[in-house]
Chains A and B, each alone.
Chain A
Amino acid sequence: QKEVEQNSGPLSVPEGAIASLNCTYSDRGSQSFFWYRQYSGKSPELIMFIYSNGDKEDGRFTAQLNKASQYVSLLIRDSQPSDSATYLCAVKQDRGSTLGRLYFGRGTQLTVWP
Chain B
Amino acid sequence: DAGITQSPRHKVTETGTPVTLRCHQTENHRYMYWYRQDPGHGLRLIHYSYGVKDTDKGEVSDGYSVSRSKTEDFLLTLESATSSQTSVYFCAISGSGTSGSNEQYFGPGTRLTVT
Nearest CB of A to B76, in Å:
15
Q: Enumerate chain B residues within 8 angstroms of A49, measured Cβ to Cβ.
A: 103
Task: Give A62-95 interface residues, CB cut-off 8 Å to B.
Answer: 88, 90, 92, 94
Q: Enumerate chain B residues within 8 angstroms of A88, measured Cβ to Cβ.
A: 42-43
Q: Enumerate chain B residues within 8 angstroms of A43, measured Cβ to Cβ.
A: 90, 106-109
Checking A36, A42, A92 against B102 with a beta-carbon cut-off of 8 angstroms, the contacting residue is: A92
Q: Enumerate chain B residues within 8 angstroms of A97, measured Cβ to Cβ.
A: 56
Task: Give B71-114 interface residues, CB cut-off 8 Å to A.
Answer: 90, 94, 99-100, 102-109
Whether the Cβ atoms of A46 and B103 lie closer than 8 Å is: yes
Whether the Cβ atoms of A92 and B99 lie closer than 8 Å is: yes
Interface of B is mostly: strand
Using known A-B contacts A100-B94, A102-B45, A106-B41, determine if residue A94 contacts B99 with beta carbons closer than 8 Å: yes
Nearest CB of A to B33, in Å:
8
Q: How far is the CA of A51 from the CA of B64 in the complex (A)?
A: 33
Q: How far is the CA of A42 from the CA of B40 in the complex (A)?
A: 17
Q: Enumerate chain B residues within 8 angstroms of A45, measured Cβ to Cβ.
A: 106
Nearest CB of B to A103, in Å:
8
A-side interface residues toward B, CB under 8 Å? 31-32, 34, 36, 42-46, 49, 51, 88, 90, 92, 94, 97, 100-102, 104-107
Known: A46-B104, A90-B104. 14 other contacts (CB 8 A): A32-B102, A34-B103, A45-B106, A92-B102, A97-B56, A100-B50, A100-B94, A100-B102, A101-B45, A102-B33, A102-B43, A104-B42, A104-B43, A105-B42
In the assembled complex, 26 residue pairs joining A and B whose CB atoms fall closer than 8 Å, in A order, are A31-B99, A32-B99, A32-B100, A34-B103, A42-B108, A43-B90, A43-B107, A43-B109, A44-B90, A44-B106, A45-B106, A46-B103, A46-B105, A51-B99, A88-B42, A88-B43, A94-B102, A100-B94, A101-B58, A102-B33, A102-B45, A104-B42, A104-B44, A105-B42, A106-B41, A106-B42
